[in-house]
Amino acid sequence: MQHSVTPVGIVHSCFKEKFAIPRQPRLAPAARGVLELLPPFDQGDAVQGLEQVSHVWLLFLFHQALEEKPRLKVRPPRLGGNKSMGVFATRATHRPNGIGQSVVRLEAVEPGRLLLSGIDLLDGTPVLDIKPYVPYADSIDNAINQMASDAPLPINVQWSDSALHQAHEHALRLAEPLVELIEQCLAQDPRPAYQVPAPERVYGVKFWDVQVRWHYPQPEVIRVLEVAREA
Ligand code: SAM
């Protein structure tokens, strides 16, 4: 059976590239975005009652990881990228039908748009469906996942004085918790597990409209060097 789906909305996210997006939602509470609802769901009727809900499940398309040929096995970054697992044992982006799911905080419901935080979604992600989080059914106290039992341990993020000053300035301009966003995302250590970073190697990523640059003075320490508006 084949069935086509049509997005109900598009996410406008702080994350402009895949690199440095947390691997799951809620790891960076300062990661915010707006889900713009598309017609006919941009009318108040479609979200009536949603203001009674603190979190929603988003079902979405990994639109920048779609592939023709399905993979049976994948190498999840969480396992260091060198161990393969059955695709259905993982939350890898490369999967049949390219469908992702994230539970995110619903900050506000406005006509035609939902304000979200704690997202792990790339800018432009098409959303296929939205469902309310149901605490008594969705939260399982004794659930086990031996591959990913706890959130990854955050690493130490330090700032150069100038980068911290720049981040505060851009936070004011954007009216966004940019310092927290940078700290929470970099604390997840975005570099691929197999990369041993030389201290002089500079990494970079774009959050909102600013380019963040950092290096690793020691293997488990990040130092933010610069937060500059993209030209
Ligand atoms: N929480 C979701 C799930 O379990 O289905 C996503 C998990 S997946 C491991 C998270 C990664 O997906 C992020 O680190 C980001 O790099 C990537 N990602 C997010 N939005 C994407 C998109 N629209 N297309 C491709 N990759 C995306």
189 & 106 share domain: no
Query: Which of 23-37, 50-64, 136-150, 184-198 shows the lowest per-residue confidence on average (mean pLDDT)?
Result: 184-198
Give the domain CATH number at 186. 3.30.2310
**Cα-to-centroid distance, 92 and ligand 1 (Å):** 8
- Ligand 1: which of 13, 14, 18, 27 to mutate, most ligand atoms within 8 Å of CB? 18
Residue at 52 is within a domain: yes
Give percent above pLDDT 90 in the chain.
Answer: 87
Residue 207, domain extent: 156-229
Q: pLDDT (tens digit, 9 = 90+) per residue, 92-107? A: 999 999 999 999 999 9
Strand blocks (E) in the chain: 9-13, 32-37, 55-61, 73-74, 85-86, 99-110, 113-117, 126-132, 156-159, 203-207, 210-218, 221-229
pLDDT of residue 230: 81
Return the pLDDT at 19. 96
Per the prediction, the chain carries an average pLDDT of 95
For residue 121, the one-letter residue type is: L
Tens digit of each residue's pLDDT (9 = 90 or more) over 173-208: 999 999 999 999 999 999 987 778 899 999 999 999
State whether 23 and 88 are in the same domain.
Answer: yes
pLDDT value, residue 70: 85
- CATH number for the domain that contains residue 84: 2.40.30.70
| Shared-domain flag, residues 126 and 164 | no
Residue 19 lies in a domain: yes
Residue 82, in any domain of the structure: yes
Structurally, the chain folds into a number of domains equal to 2
Q: Which atom of ligand 1 is nearest to the CA of 78?
A: 9
**Nearest C-alpha to atom 10 of ligand 1 is from which residue?**
23
Ligand 1 site: residues with CB under 6 angstroms? 18, 21, 23-25, 62-65, 91, 93, 100-102, 120-122, 125
Q: Could you read off the pLDDT of 125-175 as tens digits, one per residue?
A: 999 999 999 999 999 999 999 988 899 899 999 999 999 999 999 999 999
Q: Does residue 133 share a domain with residue 169?
A: no
Residue 54 confidence (pLDDT) above 90: yes
For residues 35 and 75, membership in a common domain is answered with: yes
Same structural domain, 180 and 216 = yes
User: pTM here?
Assistant: 0.95
Residues 105, 58 within the same domain: yes
Q: Is 40 helix (H, G, I), strand (E, B) or coil?
A: coil
| Same domain assignment for residues 132 and 174 | no
What confidence score (pLDDT) does residue 33 get? Answer: 98
Residue (of 52, 211, 193, 200) closest to 132 by Cα position: 52
Rounded to the nearest angstrom, the distance between the alpha carbon of 64 and the centre of ligand 1 is: 9
pLDDT over threshold 80, residue 113: yes
Which ranges constitute the DSSP H helices of the chain?
A: 135-138, 161-174, 178-186
